Amino acid sequence: MYTNAAELWTEAKERQVPLSEIILENEMQLTECSKEEVMRHLEKMYEIMQISAAKALQKPLFTVGSLITGIAKTQYDYAQTPDTLCGGFLNLLMARALSCSETNAAMGRICAAPTAGSCGIIPAVLITVAENRKSSKEAVFNALLVSAGLGAVIMRNATVAGAEGGCQVECGAAAAMAAAAAVDLAGGTAEAALHAAAFALMNIMGLICDPVAGLVQVPCAQRNASQAVNALLSADFALAGQRSIIPLDEVIDAMFRTGKMLPMQLRETAMGGIAATQTGRKINDEIFSKKE
Amino acid sequence: MNISIFDVLGPVMIGPSSSHTAGAARLAYVARQIVDAPFTKVDFYLHGSFAKTYKGHGTDRALVAGVLGLREDDERLAASFEMAKEQGISYTFQTIELEGAHENTVKMVFHLSKGGESTIIGSSLGGARIIITEVDGFAMEYTATSPAILITQQDSKGIVSSVTAVLAHFNINIGVMKLSRSAKGGIASCMIETDSFIPAEVNAILCNYPQIYRVRIINCR
């Protein structure tokens, strides 16, 4: 039985099995489901992720106030050009994250991972890395298990509610989960996966939740894209051999405490950050005065 | 680890917000099941954060979708206003102050086809989790995570034991049971959450008791 990342890692190390196996066993015990049932459920989630990551790539979707309508297509089209700074791979990654966010804002179907506001990060990372490395379905589901298992650790020891801890606990948690999954897909060790998660959280520590007009659009969509990139670079830190000098559990705790220190204006209330800018307020007034 | 990986990944839902969209759809869906009778109109009274932000998060469309019987992951949710029109069901939205209620609370008044009203109050707790707090004036705490049976009866001796005997006969285990009454000897309301599916026969048998006025079975998750 594990309650935090260190215990999860110790169990995997002592029994010499991958993280995904420990997480799967725990799930089967907890929910009294068979391995097949858990895997079928995961497969369904992954299908929804694939659909939402592709849905807005070629067709702009209508969103309230049209704040992010068409951004996934814009990034996707750019990803096809030869002259990008980050290259086709990272631009496609970003486009997929944006597609999930655009789908979500347009009242399309998504899989919360761990929340609706951060629903683009894990799909973008898993799909793009799996495609690039030609990973098997089984490898993808095992990586998904690793990400979800780590998400459970974060939920238990911190929170994933933006209203409680800001953007860092939503998009940050998703980035940490995706970073660990990416390491797993790339064949890295359990130790590297957990360090990748620690790096991802360090890179976003303290980020506030400041949605313009209170809508899950700006900057949420752009942060899904930037945190997908954060997940990958954090994974590469760990795969290269870097190790976080602060253990993952302590980083998770720091994130939780940092969230508690954030004033209410910076936690999903749209009263601070870019939501409180002159233009942000104007957009809010325009959207909510003209409807009905 | 006492948290399921599917509390982390999921729910699969229509965006944009698990509390303001998916939770709202579930509340209205469960309310429809509890009302369990044809209706022509629903008045939605929105409290707290629901009242402030319902337009931007599609809470209104989600609520209408729920009363039409759509789940929180049904892509037709965004077109629920049009669906309601086709089905001849009208709706209104108003804001309200409900004292002491959770930030995301809605009061739903169903106007029944046969006449009369049915009023359900519930809250969306985040992550698409919900709680029904009041049904037709009777207070309760139903989270719609297990099947339940809601009975309106005369407050008299032996009714509850008859009900539990029927459930035992169908091999249904009781998880939670709550009883409240308007006055001694008046109308009582009994909410029983069970571990397994409740077949329709239970309803038919219970309705044979003269002291039982109404039985409603809710089999949704």
**Phi, psi dihedral angles at A75 (to 5 degrees):** -70, -35
Contacts of B138 (CB under 8 A, 6+ apart): B152, B180, B182, B189
- B1–A156 CB contact, under 8 Å: yes
Interatomic CA distance for residues B113 and A75, integer angstroms: 51
Q: Which of A104, A113, A288 sits opposite B16 (nearest CB)?
A: A104
Whether A28 contacts chain B with CB within 8 A = no
Comparing A75-89, A227-241, B6-20, the range with the smallest average pLDDT is: B6-20
Give yes or no for a contact between B18 and B92, defined as CB atoms under 8 angstroms apart. no
- A107–B17 CB contact, under 8 Å: no
Interatomic CA distance for residues B153 and B162, integer angstroms: 12
Question: Between B55 and A142, whose confidence is greater?
Answer: A142
| Structure tokens, A30 | 């907890």
Q: Is the pLDDT of residue B193 over 70?
A: yes
DSSP string, A134-199: T--HHHHHHHHHHHHHHHHHHHHHS---HHHH-HHHHHHHHHHHHHHHHHHHTT--HHHHHHHHHH
Q: Which residues on chain B are in Cβ contact (under 8 Å) with A213? A: 56
Whether B95 contacts chain A with CB within 8 A = no
Q: Which residues on chain B are in Cβ contact (under 8 Å) with A41? A: 6
Looking at the DSSP assignment, which residues form a beta bridge with residue B39? B112
Q: Is the pLDDT of residue B156 over 80?
A: yes
Whether B116 contacts chain A with CB within 8 A = no
Report the mean per-residue pLDDT for chain A.
96
**Phi, psi dihedral angles at B133 (to 5 degrees):** -110, -15
Whether B53 contacts chain A with CB within 8 A = yes
- Identify the pLDDT of residue A268: 87
Predicted TM-score (pTM) of the model is 0.90
- Which tens digit of pLDDT belongs to each residue from B167-185? 999 999 999 998 888 888 8
Interatomic CA distance for residues B210 and B201, integer angstroms: 17
Q: Which of B12, B18, B78 sits opposite A107 (nearest CB)?
A: B78
Domain that holds residue A108: 5-290
Mean pLDDT for B140-152 is 91
Whether A44 contacts chain B with CB within 8 A = yes
Contacts of A268 (CB under 8 A, 6+ apart): A162, A163, A166, A209, A211
- Identify the pLDDT of residue B221: 54
Looking up tokens 């239970």 gives B202
Taking alpha carbons only, the member of A169, A152, A221, A264 closest to residue B103 is A264
CATH code assigned at A95: 1.10.4100
- Which tens digit of pLDDT belongs to each residue from A37-75? 999 999 999 999 999 999 999 999 999 999 999 999 999
Domains identified in chain B and CATH numbers:
18-142 (3.30.1330.90), 148-218 (3.30.70.260)
- A109–B57 CB contact, under 8 Å: no
Taking alpha carbons only, the member of A232, A236, A227 closest to residue A115 is A227
Domain count for chain A:
1
- B4–A27 CB contact, under 8 Å: yes
- Identify the pLDDT of residue A292: 46
- A103–B53 CB contact, under 8 Å: no
Whether ipTM tops 0.90, in short, is yes
- A30–B2 CB contact, under 8 Å: yes
* Beta pairing class for B90-95 and B39-48: parallel
Whether B2 contacts chain A with CB within 8 A = yes
Whether A283 contacts chain B with CB within 8 A = no
| Structure tokens, B103 | 């930030």
Give yes or no for a contact between B144 and B26, defined as CB atoms under 8 angstroms apart. yes
Smallest CA–CA distance, residue B29 to chain A, in Å, is 17
Give yes or no for a contact between A105 and A213, defined as CB atoms under 8 angstroms apart. no
Give yes or no for a contact between B218 and B147, defined as CB atoms under 8 angstroms apart. yes
Interatomic CA distance for residues B66 and B20, integer angstroms: 13
Taking alpha carbons only, the member of B92, B106, B90 closest to residue B30 is B106
Mutate to test the interface with B, among A35, A110, A122, A220 (most CBs of B within 10 A): A110
- B1–A152 CB contact, under 8 Å: yes
Smallest CA–CA distance, residue A154 to chain B, in Å, is 9
Report the mean per-residue pLDDT for chain B.
93
Percent of residues, chain A, with pLDDT higher than 90: 92
Q: Is the pLDDT of residue A291 over 80?
A: no
Q: Which of A31, A161, A215 sits opposite B4 (nearest CB)?
A: A31
- Identify the pLDDT of residue B54: 85
Other beta carbons within 10 angstroms of residue A37's beta carbon come to: 13
- Which tens digit of pLDDT belongs to each residue from A196-212? 999 999 999 999 999 99
How far apart are the two ends of chain B, measured CA to CA in Å?
A: 23
Three-class secondary structure of residue B44 per DSSP: strand
Give yes or no for a contact between A119 and A101, defined as CB atoms under 8 angstroms apart. yes
